Structure formats: structure tokens, C-alpha cells
A and B are shown apart, each in its own frame.
Chain A
Amino acid sequence: MKKQDSLTEQNRRDFIKGSSLATLMMLMGGVPLRAEDKPKTEEGTTYKTTGAPLNCAMIGCGVWGRELLKELSRLPNAPVVAICDSYEPFLRRSKESAPKAETFADYHKLLEKKEVQGVFVATPSHLHKDIVIDALQAGKHVYCEAPLATTVEDARAIAQAAQAAGKLHFQVGQQLRSDPQRHFLLQFVRTGAMGKTAMARAQWHKKQSWRRTSSNSEQEKLMNWRLSRATSPGLIGEIGLHQLDMASWFINAHPVSTTGFGGLIKWNDGRDVPDTVQVVVEYPGDVRLTYDCTLANSFDAEYEMYYGTDAALMIRDSKAWMFKEVDSPLLGWEVYARKDTFYKENGIALVANATKLKDLGKKATEDAGPAEETPLHFALEAFISSSTAISTAVEDFASTYDVSDKKALAEYLAGIKKTLMLDKPWAGYKEGLEATVTALKANEAILKGQKVTFQKEWFELG
């Protein structure tokens, strides 16, 4: 059960030596089940595989807050007991997914509720700071949407508060960090299976206005906080952040500099936030990510690509493919893997959830269809199970030892968090601060049309 302990320390040799599909599954902590292993008529015990429930609350019930509520309603152990928004119709709409939740207009009142254990902060990004800090002070586990904030100072204040609240779980809404498919793919990059990293490219294309409408003009202005530079970190801060974060994670480095360009091409409706942006983010060793994000065209939607000297990797819709060079070493298992054609290229499917295919032996060559669960699902699952696990760890420690020994407790919790991370990974305050700084500075480069060189201390908690 602990096979994934050494996941990140693997070297390329071990990786290739053991590179059968079954081994890959094992490395991911999965259980390879072949058709012949399937149980016949045996009955199992009736134990539940989901852990203890966490009473959740949502602060900010706009479009994204309601999306979170919908996903939470699908989890068996995430009852939503309270919701908060200053706009009553949002609360009403939220009731569809959270019918039993008590409603609040003032988040302070919500935080006073003892039964609330975990709080989701999905308000406009520039309003996160006070809510997150108050929630942590009230002893609640916090899931803060990305970006953490719209200024580097606020983002750092949030990260510092989260670090100080060691007895609580803090997670950032960078859900791609919880995606099993991306963790699976990460090995190909980190172990050098794609050769030396040459460059990266990513995009997010969607023809849509980003404007929200309401019959209440005052409310409409508030709802469109994303369209004004005063309150919005722009496309790169609200959307690009996730893909920029992926690049930093896969390339395993902080960015060195960023240049950016932006324009208002399609939606020149009085907004001052560009609807089309392009950035080049430079990493150490002359590795660069080129990224574009637009509301003017939807061609090819969204994906990320990593190019190495032996292969290119593509990830889209939480599915991944490898495109090999003719002179790259044979890994072995790819001969049997499913291939998909992309115009004139053959992509070898890299299927992290192949364990869920009914008959792996027979059907590995067929497309598994869309991923069963979204990265958001895995992120929320991680939040629920980590929050309860950390709370119980604190209780168990306190019931056994002298709690005045803060150092010993901190050490114990650090170990627990490490174990949890291997099981259901998440983005914490450190990843949140790094991604927010990267995206905010990229936005600065876009708006000023200038190159921004990253200072090491921007990424530090101080």
C-alpha cells in the first residue's frame, strides 16, 4: 500500500526497467485487475470506503461557488450546512445543490457556527484575504479559490496565515494538482522518459464574452468584477494561472521571467481587461512556455504540451498522449497501448485510470471515453479527507500526549500531511502563492507590455 512513497524519487532507469502497464498502475497506487482476476460470486464485507463526513460551508455563491456546491453534492461525506452570499438570488439558486444549508448574508455570522468545519471561499478574488484569514482564525479548514488574491501582498498574507494555522488543512483551488492523470503524466516528465525538456506550450480558447448579466444593474456591476482592471487579475490570473502552474510543476522550477501581450479584439464593450493574451514564461536552462488565452476564438479549446528530445506529451480533458520521436528508445509497453490519430501524428494514449476498464487485457486498445471524474472532483475529495484526517490527528495526539509540546505536534502533523498528499494530493499555500505570483506578474507584463523578471523573494513566505 505504500508503494507510491518513492514515486518522486524514482530515476529513469527504474522507471524504464519496470515499465509494464501493470507496473505503472501499481506505481500510481492503483490495483491492476485483469479479467481473469474478477471475483465470481463472492460477497464482500459492508464497510464503507469513504471516511468521516466534513460539514462544509460555501462563502460566495456565484457561478463558480454553485459549481463547487454541485460537485460537493456528489460526494457522500461532504454535507453543506451553510452558504453565504450578499446577493439573495444566488442563495436561492444554491439551494438546488444544498437544500439543507442555512443561509447567511454576512460571512462573520457563518463563521460563528460551531458545526461548520470546512469553508470554501469562492468570492471574487480581490475579496479573499479577510475571509480566509477570519475563517482560519475561527478554526475552520479552508479551501480558497485560485488565484489566492489579486495582489502579491494579499496572496502572501493568506499563505502566511495558512502556514501559521498548522492544525488546519488549507487548500487552494488549483484542482489540476489533484488530477490523477496529471500525476501519472508527471512521471514521464520527471523521469526523463520524454528526454530532455525542450519547451512547453499551452492554450485556453473559448469564444465567450465573460460578461454576466443581471436585472439589477448594481448587482451586474459587482458580478462583472472580472472585466475591470481594478478588481480583476485578467484572463491570465483567473484562467491562465492553472496552466502556468502546471508548467512550473512539470518543469519543476520557478519561472525566471515573463513577457506578455494583450489586446481587446472581440469584446470591446467598455471593459479594460484584454480578451486575448499571450505570454512567454522563461524557466531556468532556456526552457520556455508559450501560452495563449483568448475569448475571441475557440479553436482547439484547451490543452498543455511538453516537448522533450525523445517525445512530446499532450494533455487535454484530463487525458494524455505521448508522441514519440523515431529515434527515441523503446519503452516496451507502448507497443500494446491504444493509439489515437491527430491529423498525421500517432498519439500513444497514457491512461491513468486504465484500472477502471472492465477488461484491461481486451479493451486497453479502446478509448475509455471521457474521464470519469473531473480534477475538481478529486480536489474536493482531497479537501474533505485531508481536513478530517488532520482534525482527527490533532485529537488523537492531544488525547495521548501533552499538547503543550507544540514542536512534537507540528512534526507529527507534517508527517501526516505527507502521507495524505501521496494518497489524495492537493495544492497548498505554497503552491498557491507561487502560482498566484506567477500569474499576477504575467498580467503585469501583459498590461504594461514589458518583461518582468521574477525576484526570488516574491515566491517566499517571508
Chain B
Amino acid sequence: MKTNYLRFTRNFTAALLMLAAAVQAADNWTRYDAQPTGSKVKIEGTSTIHDWTMDGQIIGGYVELDPAFDASPKPGKVGARAQVMIPVRSLKSGKASMDSVMQQAMKQDVHPKIEYRLTEMSLKEAPKSPDGPYQFDTKGDLIVAGVTNKIAMLVTMERAEKTKLKFSGSTPIKMTDYGVTPPAPKIGLGLIKTGNDVKISFEWITSQRAATAK
């Protein structure tokens, strides 16, 4: 029953968000949707044995930008909205056994996605060319394993092929901040302990809605 309730809440929230998105679309901001190819996400961590990484290629969501910013980017606060999500299962370590451990640690069955919501974005300085790179100081909510934390992150934006935007950035996080116990699986004869500190980095390709196949 609990799961059903959670599912309901999640669906209901999603419906609200979609409604909100529909309202926002009316204000003429340019919407860029996540593209199914070219995105990369990487999680880097440590353990008592050696460093490890998990890689993914699925980053969903959208970004909306104030057309005023598109016309003449000025340093300072930028009108922008963004929602990003990454399916936990799409993160691969290269070892099925470790993927399984990570998915359990991140409570994937209840919280199948890592989510991010932008709350504030400001341009650090005018870019050298209209194509960028643009550097932003951002603030937003990062939701991992159902736990929300506010994070600040330096994000770089580049324009490609006119209609495409590539965002990249990285942020350190502590697993315990999100209620995740650093996995210490017993593999073979040894206990492998993973470190609490990990780094998430990403390259995210988005494209103007008109250009997508939808």
C-alpha cells in the first residue's frame, strides 16, 4: 500500500509539474528538450580497493530560457528554468554486481530517478562569442534516493548547431547527505568499503523543441 501511495504521489506531482510547464510555455521562453544521444553522466568515487566510476548516457528533462537572455546575454541573474532527471539503473560501473549494490544503496525500487531542479542561475561574465562558453553560477535542488539537498554548481553552456545547447558541470556530494550508506559489499573474500565522497559530472545535450521529432 505504501508503494501505491508513493506512486500516486509521484504521478500526481508529475501531473502538477506538467501543468506548470504548460503554463510556463505560454510566456514565450525558449524551451530546450533533452536529446537522446550525446549526453554523459559520470559518478566518480573511491573505495578501499581502488577508485570506481559509474557512467550513464541518459539525462532527461528540459531547460527554458528567457528570450531576453538569448538576444543579449548580460552578466547577472538569468531567467531560466530547468528540470533534469537520470534513471538510477542507467548508471553502469561495468560490473553487474556493483550496479546491483549501488541500486540498493540508492533505494532504486522506490526512487528510480535522480532529479535536479534549478532555482537560480546567473551569468558570471559575457561570453567571448555568441556560441559561448557561458559560465553560470547555479543553485538548485538535487534529489537522490528521495532526499533533497540544495546545491550550488558552476555550469558551462555552449551553443551547437544553432538549436542545440550543451550544458556541463560537476559537483561533489556526500552519500550520507542523501541517506545513502556507503556500500561495503562482501565480494569474494574481502570487504570492499566505498568512500562517502563522490563527484557527479555531466554533459547534457538539449535541443529546441521545434527541432525534435516529437
Identify which of residues 201-251 in chain A touch chain B, using a CB-to-CB cut-off of 8 Å: none
Q: Scoring B residues 38 to 74 as 1 if CB is less than 8 Å from chain A, else 0, what string do you get?
A: 0000000000011011010111100000000000000
Q: Scoring A residues 410 to 435 as 1 if CB is less than 8 Å from chain B, else 0, what string do you get?
A: 01100110011011100000000000
User: Once bound together, how far apart are the Cα atoms of A43 and B93, in whole Å?
Assistant: 23
| Chain B residues in 8 Å Cβ range of A409 | 36
The answer on a CB contact under 8 Å between A49 and B87 is no
Q: Scoring A residues 7 to 45 as 1 if CB is less than 8 Å from chain B, else 0, what string do you get?
A: 000000000000000000000010101000111001111
Known contacts A49-B100, A399-B87, A405-B36; is-contact A44 B186 (Cβ 8 Å): yes
Asked whether any CB of chain B lies closer than 8 Å to the CB of A456, the reply is: no
User: Once bound together, how far apart are the Cα atoms of A396 and B90, in whole Å?
Assistant: 7
Asked whether any CB of chain B lies closer than 8 Å to the CB of A332, the reply is: no
The answer on a CB contact under 8 Å between A355 and B188 is yes
| Chain A residues in 8 Å Cβ range of B57 | 412, 415
The answer on a CB contact under 8 Å between A47 and B183 is yes
Identify which of residues 36-61 in chain A touch chain B, using a CB-to-CB cut-off of 8 Å: 37-39, 42-45, 47-52
**B37, B58, B213: the one within 8 Å of A396 (CB):** B58
Q: Scoring B residues 91 to 111 as 1 if CB is less than 8 Å from chain A, else 0, what string do you get?
A: 011111111110011000000
Known contacts A48-B104, A356-B188, A416-B92; is-contact A408 B212 (Cβ 8 Å): no
Q: In the complex, which residue of chain B has the Cβ closest to the Cβ of A396?
A: B87
Identify which of residues 159-214 in chain B touch chain A, using a CB-to-CB cut-off of 8 Å: 181-193, 212-214
User: Once bound together, how far apart are the Cα atoms of A47 and B106, in whole Å?
Assistant: 11
User: Once bound together, how far apart are the Cα atoms of A38 and B186, in whole Å?
Assistant: 11
**B36, B94, B98: the one within 8 Å of A401 (CB):** B36
User: Once bound together, how far apart are the Cα atoms of A186 and B104, in whole Å?
Assistant: 35
Stretch at the interface among A96-104, A307-315, A334-342, A385-393: A385-393
**A33, A399, A400, A422: the one within 8 Å of B190 (CB):** A33
| Chain A residues in 8 Å Cβ range of B184 | 42-45
The answer on a CB contact under 8 Å between A393 and B90 is yes
User: Once bound together, how far apart are the Cα atoms of A103 and B35, in whole Å?
Assistant: 45
The answer on a CB contact under 8 Å between A51 and B96 is yes
User: Once bound together, how far apart are the Cα atoms of A45 and B186, in whole Å?
Assistant: 8
Distance in angstroms from A285 CB to nearest chain B CB is 34
Asked whether any CB of chain B lies closer than 8 Å to the CB of A402, the reply is: yes
Asked whether any CB of chain B lies closer than 8 Å to the CB of A109, the reply is: no
**B59, B94, B185, B188: the one within 8 Å of A1 (CB):** B94
Known contacts A392-B89, A397-B58, A415-B57; is-contact A48 B100 (Cβ 8 Å): yes
**A45, A396, A424: the one within 8 Å of B89 (CB):** A396
Asked whether any CB of chain B lies closer than 8 Å to the CB of A151, the reply is: no
Known contacts A44-B186, A401-B60, A423-B95; is-contact A50 B36 (Cβ 8 Å): no
| Chain A residues in 8 Å Cβ range of B183 | 45, 47
User: Once bound together, how far apart are the Cα atoms of A5 and B93, in whole Å?
Assistant: 12
Known contacts A38-B190, A412-B57; is-contact A401 B105 (Cβ 8 Å): no
Distance in angstroms from A415 CB to nearest chain B CB is 6
Distance in angstroms from B173 CB to nearest chain A CB is 19
Asked whether any CB of chain A lies closer than 8 Å to the CB of B144, the reply is: no
Instruction: Kindly list the 6 A-B residue pairs having the minimum CB-CB distance in the complex, ordered from nearest.
Output: A400-B60, A408-B36, A49-B97, A396-B87, A401-B36, A39-B191
Q: Which residues of A contact B (CB under 8 A)?
A: 1-2, 4-5, 29, 31, 33, 37-39, 42-45, 47-52, 355-356, 358, 385, 389, 392-393, 396-397, 399-402, 404-405, 408-409, 411-412, 415-416, 419-420, 422-424
Taking A1-B50, A42-B191, A51-B99 as given, write out 10 further A-B residue pairs in contact, using a Cβ cutoff of 8 Å, ordered by the A residue number. Answer: A29-B94, A39-B191, A45-B101, A47-B185, A48-B100, A52-B100, A385-B96, A401-B36, A402-B214, A412-B58
